[in-house]
Structure 1
Amino acid sequence: MNGGDIGDALFGGAADYGAILALVSNSVWAGAVLGLVGGLIGVFVMQRDMAFAVHGISELSFAGAALALLIGLDVVMGSIVGSLIAAAAIGVLGARARDRNSVIGVLMPFGLGLGILFLSLYDGRSANRFSLLTGQIVSVQSGDLGWLIGIGAVVMVALLLIWRPLRFDSLDPQSAAARGVPIRWISLGFMLLLGLVVAVAVHIIGALLVMALVVTPAAAAMRIASGPVGVPVLAAVFGVASAVGGILLAIAGTLPVSPYITTISFLIYLVCRVVGSRRSRSRSRSVRAA
């Protein structure tokens, strides 16, 4: 192959990539919004030790989406209804940490079983069934993007409104209750916001992989940052980088998008964990030397 052939091949590849990128621009925006909102709300998920709740909500969201698919209704709306039911149940029945895990443990197999039942009764395209488990971010339509942006905006505004009392309750619930913070309502409101985020994430990345954009970015950020600003900002950056980076890599290859997103998110966490561990050891040596 001569220089002209190589140049044509490279230019043709770049042109093809640009054309594909233009076709999936909705997916890129969806990934950015989902990464941003998921990273921010994930900080409170980690502070409240509720990573397990994300998976529990996703199972009921999956069941709601599967039922909507079976009876011909909007899948996003079915996912939202399922998520909100699960979030409300966890928020009300699992108000105490001791009860929360048992409630989630009961809801998870129930939701997964219902979802599998509804999908087994569905006789449409198998791709539609599979996408509920692993997502369909590369085929996000304008209507889906509108839902995502709208829900993301609602969650962002609500988080900003309750940010201070929610952070107080997440870090020190006993003191928050003593100061008169309505922790029960704050907790329920947070669960409903989490339910909305999970519902959209299930539709985009799938019920099995939600935690990659709601838990992992925040867990990574908390390894290398601290303070009320540093952790949320880093978590949002990591979430956007994982989602958008995964999409950009996926459209250049032949693999589904979900493995790229989860791998990038996991690698970010590993790097942050190593950096955080080295910092801790360095501080320990400094303290001993002093």
Structure 2
Amino acid sequence: MFLADAGVPTVSWNLLADLQEMWAYPFMVNAFRAGAIVSVVCAVVGWFMVLRRQTFAGHTLSVAAFPGASLAILLGVSTSLGYFGFCVAAALLIAALGRKGRDAGAEESAVTGTVQAFALASGYLFISLYKGLLEGPTALLFGSFLGITTGQVTLLAIVGAVLLAVLALIGRPLLFATVDPEVAAGRGVPVRLLSTVFLVLLGAATAEASQITGTLLVFALMVIPAATAQQLTARPGRSLALAVLIGFASCWLGLIAAYYQPYPLGFFVTTIAFTGYVLAHLGRAVHDALGRSRPRGRTPLSIGGAA
């Protein structure tokens, strides 16, 4: 590891100098650029995923990134190709095999679980076939920011821009189909098509996040910021903006912490995001408790008038 060989840096009182030193390394610049792209895309896509209650599908797509990257290493091709190829293929498979109707939720869960089991088994098969892969599984499962190249950042930026553009086009009907699918279908909204398109977007966003946090900790950027934002406010626009802000802050603060400490990046990103989620729950609990303790039905003005 580069940081281990050079000695773990220490934080000084001059924060500007610390940032300049950190960004003097090209791999850190690439990591911050990739983190910014991935955190924004995952927060937006994850917000819809949490609202649609498809976190299990998102988790399965993150698992599909593991055999994708493993097969890419086995074949000697770009791991990004493996990430995106397997995640999008798994999304299409879930969309094709899932049944719509009254039992759609149960059917999708069964299909999703089946795809997840097969993906895990395939990943470990590819790992075992490649004898030269030493610590590869750890990096694939828990993430690493040392190997992010300028080419990967460019690819993430292009894919992220396409994802956000498509989501901007289908955002309003997708929100309608999410909140009330039966009424949306009755008004001519293509609910089935929107569901398939969203799963593909979810697969691509998961493939992006997996290259930063690893396949097992992708929920740090995909679920936690969105879930935290939806705890804080029920307004869609404000909640979506909060999710982006929380995801961006968690990723960049995690990168800074990982630079100064010899521990996995995924741990810091997840811990920071989870701390925000717990604080949001505590804040909401306090708010609800204060609301219940206030007198109902009589205001200070009415009390004074009665007197």
Q: Same fold (TM over 0.5)?
A: yes
Change (3 A) 1:13 1:254: farther
Counterpart-to-counterpart distance in 2, 1:65 and 1:288: 58
Instruction: Go from structure 1 to structure 2 and tell me whether the alpha carbon gap of 1:156 and 1:10 turns closer, same or farther (over 3 Å shift).
Output: closer
CA distance in 1, matches of 2:163, 2:266: 24
| Separation of aligned partners in 1, 2:120 and 2:82 | 15
Kept in 2, the 8 Å contact 1:138–1:257? The answer is no
Aligned to 1:84: 88
- Over 3 Å counting, the alpha-carbon distance change for 1:227 and 1:13 in structure 2 is closer
Secondary structure of the residue that 1:103 maps to in structure 2? helix
**Partners of 1:21 and 1:251 within 8 A in 2:** no
Unaligned 5+ runs, structure 2:
1-10, 299-307
Equivalents in 2 of 1:11, 1:189: separation in Å? 49
TM-score (norm 1): 0.92
1:21 maps to 2:23: yes
Instruction: Name whichever structure is richer in helix by fraction.
Output: 1
Taking the aligned partners of 2:131 and 2:89, their CA distance within structure 1 comes to: 26
Length, aligned pairs only: 282
Letter in 2 for 1:28: F
1:123 Cα deviation from its structure 2 partner: 2.4
Residue number in structure 2 paired with 1:42: 46
The equivalent position to 1:173 in structure 2, one of 174, 181, 194, is: 181
Deviation at 1:17, TM superposition (A): 6.0
Distance 2:198 2:256 in 1: 32
Query: Which has more radius of gyration?
Result: 2
Q: Is 1:73 the equivalent of 2:81? A: no
Q: Is the 8 A contact 2:68 2:123 kept in 1?
A: yes
CA 1:273 to 1:68, structure 2 compared with 1: closer, same or farther past 3 Å? Answer: same
**Normalising to structure 2: TM-score of the pair?**
0.87
Question: What corresponds to 1:284 in structure 2?
Answer: 292
- Whether the 8 Å contact between 1:79 and 1:199 is mirrored in structure 2 is yes
Alpha carbons of structure 1 residues 119 and 10: separation in structure 2 relative to 1, 3 Å: same
1:278 Cα deviation after fit: 1.9
1:257 is displaced (CA, Å) by 1.1
**Distance of aligned partners of 1:133 and 1:32 in 2 relative to their CA distance in 1, 3 Å threshold:** same
The answer to whether the 8 A contact 1:138-1:247 is kept is no
C-alpha contact (below 8 Å) 2:66/2:141 kept by paired residues: yes
The amino acid of 1:221's aligned partner reads A
**Residues 143, 264 of structure 2: 8 Å contact kept:** no
**What do residues 212-237 of structure 1 show as CA deviations (whole Å, max 9, x unaligned)?**
10011000001111212011000011
Q: Where does 1:80-229 land on structure 2 (aligned, <5 Å)?
A: 80-94=84-98, 95=100, 96-229=104-237
Whether the aligned pair in 1 keeps the contact of 2:12 and 2:18 (CA below 8 Å) is: no
1:264 matches 2:272: yes
Whole-Å separation in 2 of the counterparts to 1:217 and 1:153: 20
SS of structure 1 residue aligned to 2:236: coil
Q: Deviations over 1:119-141 (max 9, x none)?
A: 11112342333211111223311
Mapping of residues 227-266 of structure 1, within 5 Å: 227-266=235-274
User: Equivalent residue of 1:22, what SS?
Assistant: coil
SS in 2 for 1:137: coil
